[in-house]
């Protein structure tokens, strides 16, 4: 049997292929442009970006396998003593639609290895602008189904972890409506890998039905403006708090691939506050932790 890291890399590469194929079919107009790149120090990847499609204003799906000597500052953050080599592989994606009634979404699934530590991490979350509760419920239920195949404690644990992780702490609000997030899963690696595979394979089923349901919803300048304000919140989280962004920058990753997650357009209005009683104010209530499935 091949090494776990090789099987993980093969799965993540295939997952990128399948997700890109599914998103192109969903968009029906644009195609992904692929950049193959090499990392100084070891490894590389392929970045795929779709822009100005019928659905997606900007969509990026990355795959990478990087390795080499661990930067000292990053090693300290991971509680690693001394110099050590590392190996990391994974798939990550961020999808920014034109229509504010279709949510932005993010997913990431990864494997990390040093000479004495191995773990998996990942997750998926949804960032609506004008939320429909039924859409959020569908997204969470699909992820819960993938979790429950392996451990019925996974979803509540990883949902809570996601709520906490994707909080913009300087604003005391989540960037969206959550999903699941997990990291440092290192027990029973073979079973954990099966879980990661099921979680990754569930992504299209969690998201594409929402796109199909909302793709013909009407919107105007007001809705577009609120979308750009909320995208600004997305940028704040990714540049200030996101571990993947920090990891990429500190391991001298490819800048264009690291910042692929940022939207094509965003906006910051000084001291923005939604009008009392407006649909924008109603939307803000969806950006706080809550029980979407009635199980907590």
Active site residues: 106
> How far, in Å, CA of 19 to CA of 289, rounded?
28
- CA angle, residues 167, 136, 57, in degrees to nearest 5: 80
User: Are the CB atoms for 176 and 127 separated by under 8 Å?
Assistant: yes
**Total count of residues recorded for the chain:** 296
Q: Check if the beta carbon of residue 137 is closer than 8 Å to that of residue 293.
A: yes
Contact 192, 120 (CB under 8 A): yes
Three-state SS string over the chain comes to CCCHHHHHHHHHHHHHHHHHHHHHHHHCCCCCEEEEEECCCCEEEEEEEEECCCCEEEEEEEEEEEEEECCHHHHHHCCCCCCCEEEEEEEEEEEEECCCCCCEEEEEEEEEEECCCEEEEEEEEEECCCCCHHHHHHHHHHHHHHHHCCCCCHHHHHHHHHHHHCEECCCCEECCCCEEEEEEECCCHHHHHHHHHHHHHCHHHHHHHHHHHHCCCCCCHHHHHHHHHHHHHHHHHHHHCCHHHHHHHHCCCCHHHHHHHCCCCCCCCCCCCCCCCCHHHHHHHHHCCCCCCCCC
């Amino acid at each position: 049997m091949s090494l776990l890291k090789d099987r993980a890399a093969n799965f993540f590469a295939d997952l990128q292929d399948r997700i890109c194929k599914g998103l192109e079919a969903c968009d029906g107009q644009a195609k992904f442009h692929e950049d193959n790149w090499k990392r100084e120090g070891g490894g590389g990847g392929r970045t795929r970006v779709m822009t100005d499609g019928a659905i997606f204003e900007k969509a990026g799906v990355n795959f990478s396998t990087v390795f080499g000597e661990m930067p000292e500052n990053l090693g300290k953050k991971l509680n690693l003593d001394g110099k050590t080599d590392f190996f990391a592989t994974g798939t990550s994606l961020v999808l920014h639609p034109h229509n504010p009634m279709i949510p932005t979404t993010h997913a990431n699934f990864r494997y990390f290895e040093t000479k004495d530590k191995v773990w998996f991490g990942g997750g998926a979350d949804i960032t609506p602008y004008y939320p429909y509760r039924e859409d959020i419920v569908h997204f969470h239920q699909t992820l819960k189904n993938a979790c429950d195949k392996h451990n019925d404690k996974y979803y509540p644990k990883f949902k809570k972890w996601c709520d906490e992780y994707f909080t913009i702490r300087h604003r005391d609000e989540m960037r969206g409506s959550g999903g699941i997030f997990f990291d440092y899963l290192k027990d029973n690696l073979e079973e954990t890998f099966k879980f990661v595979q099921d979680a990754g394979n569930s992504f299209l089923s969690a998201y594409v039905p929402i796109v199909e349901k909302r793709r013909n919803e009407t919107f105007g300048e007001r809705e577009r403006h609120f979308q750009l304000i909320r995208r600004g919140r997305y940028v704040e989280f990714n540049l200030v708090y996101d571990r993947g962004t920090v990891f990429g920058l500190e391991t001298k990753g490819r800048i264009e691939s690291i910042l692929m997650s940022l939207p094509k357009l965003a906006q910051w209005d000084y001291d923005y506050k939604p009008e009392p009683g407006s649909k924008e104010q109603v939307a803000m209530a969806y950006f706080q932790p809550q029980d979407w499935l009635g199980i907590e």
